[in-house]
Amino acid sequence: MGPLDIDPKLDRETADKIWQHMISVGHLDSFETVHRTRDGTVFPIEMTGTLFQHGGETFSLAITRNITERKRTECELRRLNRELRAVSDCNQTLLRATDEQSLLNDICRIICDEAGYRMAWVGYAEHDEAKSIRPVAWAGAEAGYLATVNLSWADTERGRGTGGTAIRTGEAVYVQDFATDPRMAPWRENALKLGYRSCVALPLKDREKKVFGALSIYSAEASAISPDELRLLEELAGDLSFGITFLRTQRQQEQTEKALQRSEQNYREIFNATNEAIFLHDAATGQVLDVNDTMLRMFGFDSKAEVLSGGVNLTVSNEPPYTMQEAHRRIRLAIEQGPQVFEWRARRKNGTGFWRKSRCKVRSSAARAGFWPWCATSPCAKPPMKNAAA
């Protein structure tokens, strides 16, 4: 056998050029090519060559090394570097994300563009009768595949694929070859047509470690994902889960704040529109925390600040049961025993007095101020006191 027999990449013209080069310089620098074994298997080699004289004749000596393992390692390192770049880009995307759908779209795109995978998609677990999986984002060579797969996370034939099993078990699921793995039978034909040979599905979990979906990644090569790559992808899925959970929590907080604002606005409108004067008290100190517009009109005050300053005397008499101390006692009774109704003589800002009826009950609670009772007050008819002008 000669060089042309064992090197399928070599032709006669190239071989002649190499021989002439060796004659002119006396050696052949190291280079890479492939060799063919007796059974036709091709493998990568590294070759060096030199010339020597023996018995008046010129001979060439070529030394070749099988570099299959080195090439495999180099290929794995390149893939790992792509994975690391993809993970880094995904983390940057997570930091900037403000919208869940945009985040999912960007993550799938980065996995395909940066890490070189054939297709990536995210599916969420539905809690319907079929326990279906709803695709929410994808990138790469999808070509309508997800519309036909009819996936489930139930323990059925269509639930035993990578995505369904990952959601059901909470563990990563790796299929090394669609062509041979029996679990892939329902999807094998379409998958192979689209160039999918291997796949990994990674569960997405919330803060309570409950699985709500899966990230599925497809490769065009069989057995394409090494253990190191799988660890990086699991890290990526964990980061994505955190990002989704964070955005959902943030959105829920915003919705809660808006609901509270609407509730406060509605309360404030009712608070000020009622025909009864309302006082909001701190049960611990008796301090008036808030009053409505009706109270200001009834007592003749110009602003809330006058009342909330604490220097206003709203009672005419300092004798029980018509003192502010008695009102505070009724407030405490409202906390302990339930709503209280009592009548007492009040004082307007201009000093004139009038009888009023108050109903006192607990409105809500606060961590620092304790219970916040409110008192609703309306004028009531009573015989005028002798010192009514006082």
Counting residues of the chain whose pLDDT is more than 70, the rounded percentage is 86
C-alpha–C-alpha distance, residues 372 and 288, integer Å: 10
Mean pLDDT score of the chain, rounded to an integer?
A: 83
> Do both 134 and 178 map to the same domain?
yes
Which domain range does residue 143 map to?
Answer: 97-251
Residue 90 falls within a domain, yes or no?
no
Amino acid 347: pLDDT? 78
pLDDT single digits (tens) 215-273: 999 999 998 888 888 888 898 999 999 999 999 998 888 888 888 888 888 888 888 88
DSSP code at position 276: S
Residue 78 falls within a domain, yes or no?
no
> Do both 343 and 208 map to the same domain?
no
Residue 145 falls within a domain, yes or no?
yes
The CATH number linked to 203 is 3.30.450.40
Q: Return the higher-pLDDT residue of 63 and 309.
A: 63
Of 251, 284, 316, at which residue does a domain stop? 251
> Do both 371 and 312 map to the same domain?
yes
At 341, the pLDDT band (50, 70, 90 cuts) reads confident
Q: Which of 351, 342, 353 is nearest to 386 (CA)?
A: 353
pLDDT single digits (tens) 48-59: 989 888 898 888
Domain total in the chain: 3
Q: Which two tokens stand for residue 37?
A: 């074994």
DSSP code at position 37: -
Is the predicted pLDDT of residue 365 greater than 60, yes or no? Answer: no
The CATH number linked to 307 is 3.30.450.20
> Do both 105 and 170 map to the same domain?
yes
Amino acid 101: pLDDT? 94
> Do both 241 and 280 map to the same domain?
no
Amino acid 357: pLDDT? 75
C-alpha–C-alpha distance, residues 281 and 142, integer Å: 64
Residue 228 falls within a domain, yes or no?
yes
> Do both 125 and 239 map to the same domain?
yes
C-alpha–C-alpha distance, residues 43 and 75, integer Å: 15
Residue 257, CA distances (Å) to 54, 96, 261 in order: 93, 23, 6
Q: What are phi and psi of 357, to 5 degrees?
A: -110, 130
> Do both 237 and 283 map to the same domain?
no
pLDDT single digits (tens) 51-94: 888 898 888 888 999 999 988 888 877 777 777 787 888 888 88
Q: Return the higher-pLDDT residue of 51 and 325.
A: 51
Query: Residue 121's beta-bridge partner residues?
Result: 138, 216
Residue 89 falls within a domain, yes or no?
no
The whole model's pTM is what? 0.61
C-alpha–C-alpha distance, residues 121 and 119, integer Å: 7
At 385, the pLDDT band (50, 70, 90 cuts) reads very low
Residue 301 falls within a domain, yes or no?
yes
For the chain, what is the radius of gyration of the CA atoms? 41
